Structure 1
């Protein structure tokens, strides 16, 4: 049977991703000073203005306007002709204390929210991520690096990649299409842009064996993409949940990750669910695994767990024995009270090789227990 899976990834200069990065940059600054910070931070990005709102409970102080502007500069919004830059953008903040009712469940170790959690892994790639996700994320990361390193000087910060992969009997067989939207300076021609992206990105992709003569390569389909970023579109934290996770390979729990401290179980338990799924696949128990959990505000453990390995075998009860799925257990095991969050917000939260991403590490003891 022929099926398809797709994935989207956006560059750091995409309006929604700017909002994610700013929210996590502020969170990192707070957690660096107070590891027990409780925060739910969101940003809205529009032409010339950044709105930062949310609820924070902390002993730390964060200079939010400076962090927001410096983040814009780091991303590459440094020129007035972009219509939005870190030197002139206005920053408006509206921060309040966390609701005392919401806080009731947290001191006892209860979940800080009610959330559906999803984790996924597959053995179709070396990092146990869907193929389309790996290709899409590698494209946007490459676009950003080529721009920041001045290798392609005519690129601007906004951009996007969408990849569609064809499967036969559950296995990837070819890339059906690759679409790249790359913001650029007005002086570059459409022909030059497409030639450079073909040479510097498409032809250097890791998964060339999946690209064939029928693969559709689409680059800036309307020709020009000069006006982009917040000048063209409003950005909002948490609007790229599918891009942050597994594309269409797995369902979305519906909650965003960025701007939330680890007591917000929709973030921390999503990392744990990924770790569980990855260990199940890496142990050889299954070719792919989907983990679903439901946490209820104020309750320590999930009220529902389902581990689907697409076989008749049910291993959910073993997962409860191997992994501590309590709120504090997840935070401690993954060491989440650290300022690691800003870098999670670009190119997906999963499948990345980074020492700070404990949910991506394979634990020999866990693999041994799963293999028995």
Structure 2
């Protein structure tokens, strides 16, 4: 990327149809693992006006009421009125239950021999990224877009903007100089309202909320920062009444805001035996620890997996010229410090047991909105800097 540029990333609020699907899918993963830590499950969701469709394929010693779970997620997001109502929408389910023998071994049975036997079941290229743009070591545009989306959702829930729909999109453009974020160039909001378009007072309140969400940081809005509200035209109807949703369609929002590479696979709706999910968490952990250790200002970690093999086929590090040693040397140091075999990742991050201890909010459900990475509001194991000292050598 050019050292001098303007980069834009977007986020959405929990009521966006695609994010509703992600939340329903991850709430189901939480539910399966809460009852059975060895469960394997893939849950896909699609929805449109008045209709929700859930497809689940699982092997689990658990009973999960997918319809009730979906209604709770939709209601929590704010849909309980004409157009799309959690209480009256039609929910269709399709379940394929696999033999219990297909479950994963209990977490306490993951010794060295068991880890070596647990191979990748899918081919996957996963990427992790970290940089010094923000305290959470994430690219500034996506971090800022999430902050604004969170502020809008909080304001709606608190009744500060009563007519605001649960469905909103935020875009934040950050100006870079010499490779570092220097200022917030602009904020664009696409909002739906349950009533006719808001008057000047409500629009000014929304504008102030967006600016306040980004105030106080080293990189913040200034007198030249623009704020646009529905610049593309009226957005009178939001949510599933306007556009359909699907699990896994917001990968940029879930990861790095398209600032860095990401896998084409969805993160939500999969248990941690799926390497495209667990591997993405391990790659982020590795990249963040390299940056946290002071070994680079910007780092991407790539892990390549093939079916039937436990060890990654390839592990590579790219520091974009910011590393204190060669990328090859960092790759070797990383492979010596961290174990990237699928079962080792699951054991290190306790990915199968966390849903039980995170009840009732769930462990995977909160990840389905505002990103899977750079989350200071959540105690995520892949966001820990616990490998930094070892990486320094």
CA deviation vs aligned residue, 1:263-287 (integer Å, no higher than 9, x gap): 0011111111111111100111000
For 1:194-205, list aligned pairs within 5 A.
194-205=203-214
Over 3 Å counting, the alpha-carbon distance change for 1:17 and 1:94 in structure 2 is same
Structure 1 residue 99, shift from structure 2 partner: 9.9
Show CA shifts across 1:207-255 (max 9, x none).
4743233333211114532211001001000000001000122012111
Q: Distance in 1 between matches of 2:335 and 2:318?
A: 14
> Which residue of structure 2 aligns with residue 283 of structure 1?
293
Matched, 1:250 2:260: yes
2:284 aligns to what?
274
Q: Give the TM-score normalised by structure 1.
A: 0.93
Q: Distance in 2 between matches of 1:317 and 1:208?
A: 35
Q: In the alignment, is residue 299 of structure 1 matched against residue 309 of structure 2? A: yes
For the pair 1:144 / 2:153, whether they are aligned, the reply is yes
Q: Is the 8 A contact 1:103 1:112 kept in 2?
A: no
Distance 1:355 1:179, change over 3 A: closer
Deviation at 1:98, TM superposition (A): 5.2
- For the pair 1:325 / 2:327, whether they are aligned, the reply is no
TM-score by length of 2: 0.89
Aligned-pair distance for 1:326? 0.7
User: Are residues 299 and 98 of structure 1, via their aligned partners in 2, closer, same or farther at CA, if it must alter by over 3 Å?
Assistant: farther
1:210 aligns to what SS in structure 2?
A: coil
Query: Which aligned pairs between 1:167-316 and structure 2 lie closer than 5 A?
Result: 167-206=176-215, 207=217, 209-311=219-321, 313-314=326-327, 315-316=330-331
**Number of the residue aligned with 1:109:** 118
Q: Could you say what the CA RMSD is over the residues aligned between the two structures, in angstroms?
A: 2.2
Aligned-partner SS, 2:80: coil
| Alpha-carbon distance between aligned partners in 2 of 1:213 and 1:117, rounded to the nearest angstrom | 40
In 2, distance between residues paired with 1:26 and 1:297? 26
Give the Cα–Cα distance (whole angstroms) in 1 for the partners of residues 332 and 194 of structure 2. 56
Give the paired residue count: 368
User: Compared with structure 1, are the counterparts of its residues 99 and 5 closer, same or farther at alpha carbon in structure 2 (3 Å cutoff)?
Assistant: farther
Query: In the alignment, which of 10, 31, 53 is matched to residue 8 of structure 1?
Result: 10
In 1, the alpha carbon distance for the partners of 2:95 and 2:195 equals 39
Name the residue aligned to 2:32.
Answer: 30
**Structure 2 unaligned spans of 5+:** 105-113, 356-362
1:371 corresponding residue in structure 2: 392
Contact residue 214 and residue 220 of structure 2 kept, 8 A = no
